[in-house]
A and B are shown apart, each in its own frame.
Chain A
């Protein structure tokens, strides 16, 4: 189930909130959250709930044993069990097809192979679960005695399938001591509505421009740039909209989840971009991969290696395709370059608006790889963006629906000049609220009117 669906809005959310409201006591409310979260997840594939349950059980058991073990050295075997289980599941479900496909390409794989189905959101909840056991191992978090609390944390539907990646320590206290208030509820509602509007009215419309370009075999210069620009707007409004909805839903039930975006297209360098884009992933990678690898503590060369490794794996986290590895390498390459230049972009000497523009152009180059069908298509798109395939037919670019153009224009304006969702909600001016409600109703009506409702990060 996704938030931007009629089933969620007309059925799941009202019934969940009603149940949550009538059940007394925080503990019972956590049971409600957990059960409804399993329903939320089972909506797609009921059997995969067992997988999540298994992962939760293993991590709970390992964390309890780590708590009993005392010394860090004695805790390590249980950490290994947890890591092997989580990463094993992730490797099997997410990367088995890639490995077998690659082996088959070089004549070494099995001749018959049935593709493994990727459980929705496995990358997100696995990373969450792992962060818990790692934190317990490090002694930063006490093992949770109640498996219900852990199950509630892992399965919590607002962030279950597309993040933000919440760490246990972020919600540990909230599981037992959170407060509910009308103000909190209203703030959550407003944020949820902002997210829905961003996703449905901007991202879904802009995808009508982006999709044909990424499906084309030989786009021209104009189409290529237009398509990649549209995708940049689409993925930002799609993912940040979904994150806003997730944080908003969390607030409805008293959870303060971390924000995941901070106006990323305002960035003047790639380093800054990664501070503002998918913050929960980049900080997770920093704390659980980059720092354990040694971070910047072992000299320049090792730092660059660690950075490259982190970004490559971060790229691969997005999907089992070589293009994601290439995208990670591309991003990592620029991060290393900026670090070599004293933590500033090569274009850092330019006026700020131009720095932002250059950074955005580099980001667009990355999105071309990210969204292309495969590496060959990515190369085609890059060459088209460089103008080697001619300007292309202008009518091809101009044939998109009017609302797609309007959405793209508004999207660009908001992405570069707009305020952060959170600031918008904080303001709570009467006119803003009226507009918000009107646009939210329009967005819901559009959900009923249109079948085109892709959701990008659902696949990761």
Chain B
């Protein structure tokens, strides 16, 4: 309670000038890089929020800008990667979100949940039965394509000795059985994946640092599906002329969010983004020339695809390519969860918005053990919307 408030004395060395210059330089990095790299939209990264009068006065803009700076600006993503890479190099990196057995291969934590899904049996049965009943009532065929977990396709990179834990090993076949038992068409292509991997060991089917399939994996999935649809005698009508175009692009891999770091030796570009050849579709315009593909223009497609990021990564367009017909992909929505978009697609069929008679839903195996399962009732639909 005693003693005067000290007022600092100041140092006066010449090198203070160097400190001042360096500090200004450091402070300049932020605004300069934001200006240089841009605050607009990048592939896979959200654009910076736009300040509106309401957003600013209500304090919402402040939150949104802070969130954007943290999660979507190139500058902070780069810094995050540098920092975590340094932690990795120092042996301090620690995360519960992603794992690796083989260096350079990452797997999501869900891959290591050693469950066979039996505790979700009742919910799964109720859900798929609800889907089957609804599909029958609406006169549509539902094909559920099961995307095997990456750790199932590449157990040698995920588990010590390459052996998947016993209970987890049963999960896939139990999931397929649950769908079939409910009367819903289950499309399997795990055998094709495994055979392809055996025949062509140099061709990867899933990305190393991403949980999703790559273009090659998606082609196998699309072929298996198209075979099923054609085998089921779908009325597809006349083929639709369109053209697929490949374009090189880079985007953050999903495990960036989970693991937030990469092994030593990666370049900054590799750390942030995985090179990905993007597929674009062109369709004829009114005069017969090429025009950009518009999902909304596919409203009369005979086949619709729904699902989250697995459906989005190559798959929907490859189905169109393999099939030679329009595919309605308005219910392909990355981050939408394992089944929500299927429920919404059925809602749209009911409302007459979706005309397709064959609904394809991409269902991700690893979602089974972590999903909040619920019957496909009104409550679910409300939640989804």
A and B physically associate: yes
**Residue positions of A touching B, CB distance < 8 A:** 1, 5-7, 9-11, 13-15, 17, 42-46, 167, 170, 182-187, 189-190, 192-193, 247, 251, 256, 258-259, 262, 271, 274-275, 279-280, 282-283, 285-286, 290, 307, 310, 335, 401-403, 406, 422, 425-428, 430, 433, 437, 440-442, 444-446, 448-449, 451
Chain B interface mostly: helix
13 interchain pairs, CB-CB under 8 A:
A7-B65, A11-B31, A17-B27, A170-B5, A183-B12, A183-B16, A183-B17, A186-B17, A190-B19, A258-B5, A307-B1, A403-B94, A428-B19
Highest count of chain A CB atoms <10 Å: which of B2, B84, B91, B92: B2
* SS of A interface (majority): helix
Instruction: Return B64 CB to nearest CB of chain A, in Å.
Output: 11
Tell me whether B201 is interfacial, beta carbon within 8 Å: no
Say yes or no: B7 contacts A256, CB within 8 Å: yes
B75 within 8 A of A: yes
A250 closest partner in B (C-beta): B8
Q: Given A6-B70, A7-B69, A402-B92, A46 and B15 touching (CB < 8 A)?
A: no
> Once the chains are docked, how many angstroms separate the CA of A271 from the CA of B15?
39
Judge whether A186 and B1 touch: CB under 8 Å.
Answer: no
Chain B interfacial residues counted at CB < 8 A? 51
Residues on A with C-beta less than 8 A from B7 are 170, 256, 258-259
- The reply to whether B5 and A448 contact each other, CB–CB distance below 8 Å, is no
In whole angstroms, what is the CA distance A446 to B28 when docked? 18
Do the beta carbons of B19 and A256 come within 8 Å of each other? no
Q: Is the CB of B1 within 8 A of A310?
A: yes
Rounded to whole angstroms, the CA-CA distance of A451 and B16 in the bound complex is 33
Besides A183-B12, A402-B91, 6 more A-B contacts (Cβ < 8 Å) are A258-B7, A335-B1, A428-B16, A433-B18, A437-B22, A442-B83
Collect the chain B residues with CB atoms within 8 Å of residue A7's CB.
Answer: 62, 65-66, 69
Please tell me if B233 contacts chain A, counting CB pairs below 8 Å: no
CB of B9 within 8 Å of the partner chain: yes
Closest chain A CB from B39 CB (angstroms): 11
Separation of A45 and B6 alpha carbons in the complex (Å): 33
Find out whether the CB atom of B30 lies under 8 angstroms from the CB atom of A285. no
In the complex, whether B232 has a CB less than 8 A from a CB of chain A is no
Within 8 Å by CB of A448, from B11, B65, B76, lies B76
- Do residues A275 and B5 form an inter-chain contact, with CB atoms below 8 A? no
B349 within 8 A of A: no
Residue from A10, A167, A280 with most neighbouring chain B CB atoms (10 Å):
A10
Find chain A residues with CB under 8 A from B4 CB: 283
Contact A448 B80 (CB under 8 A): yes
A182 touching B16, Cβ below 8 Å? yes
Whether, in the assembled complex, B57 has its beta carbon less than 8 Å from a beta carbon of chain A, the answer is: yes
